[in-house]
């Protein structure tokens, strides 16, 4: 078995352990047999999307679904999805620092300069460095925004009574 395949199948066991569930308990809650869950954990079988949805419901959120779409699903492998690590927590403070850093970079560009760049519809050599800062910062902000949405979707750090 390849290293990547081994890591992929370990996700199921590690998430089950993280949420302190036995194979029997998680299999029953997820409408699976214990043998089938064991085969997923050993990498003998790749779960069906339906099984991933059921497992995800019992492993605290949609993280497993997003990971499956990124790492296992043939369609997800073909398109440029954001990488997801089902075993690692996304950290709100790191994401917020990333956002602040990128906003500071954007402050370096004068608003009048952005207007100049956009007026003629062409980016010439004198505008390229400002345009590159803008493009790269917006890409990073987009990625950070996606992370915030995933954190919110998982119910992390968000008070549910708001």
pLDDT in tens, 77-131: 888 676 667 666 667 788 889 999 999 998 888 888 888 888 888 899 989 988 9
Q: Are 116 and 52 in contact (CB under 8 A)?
A: no
Does domain 3-78 match CATH 1.10.260.40? yes
Sole residue written with tokens 């990128």: 102
Measured in residues, the chain has a length of: 162
Rounded distance, CA 116 to CA 27, Å? Answer: 60
Q: Is the pTM of this model over 0.85?
A: no
> Using one digit for the tens of pLDDT, what is the confidence trace for 120-159?
888 999 899 889 999 999 999 998 898 888 777 766 555 5
């Amino acid at each position: 078995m390849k290293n990547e395949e081994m890591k992929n199948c370990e996700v199921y066991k590690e998430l089950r352990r993280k949420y302190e569930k036995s194979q029997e308990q998680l299999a029953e809650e997820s409408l699976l047999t214990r043998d089938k869950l064991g085969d997923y954990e050993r990498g003998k079988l790749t779960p069906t999307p339906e099984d991933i949805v059921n497992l995800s419901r019992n492993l605290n959120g949609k993280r497993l679904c997003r990971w499956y779409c990124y790492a296992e699903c043939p369609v997800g492998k073909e398109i440029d999805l954001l990488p997801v690590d089902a075993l690692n927590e996304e950290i709100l403070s790191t994401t917020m620092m990333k956002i602040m850093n990128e906003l500071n970079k954007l402050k370096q560009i004068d608003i009048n300069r952005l207007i100049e760049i956009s007026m003629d519809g062409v980016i010439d050599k004198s505008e390229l460095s400002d345009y590159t800062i803008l493009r790269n910062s917006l890409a990073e902000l987009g990625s950070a925004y996606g992370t915030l949405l995933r954190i919110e979707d998982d119910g992390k750090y968000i008070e549910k009574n708001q």
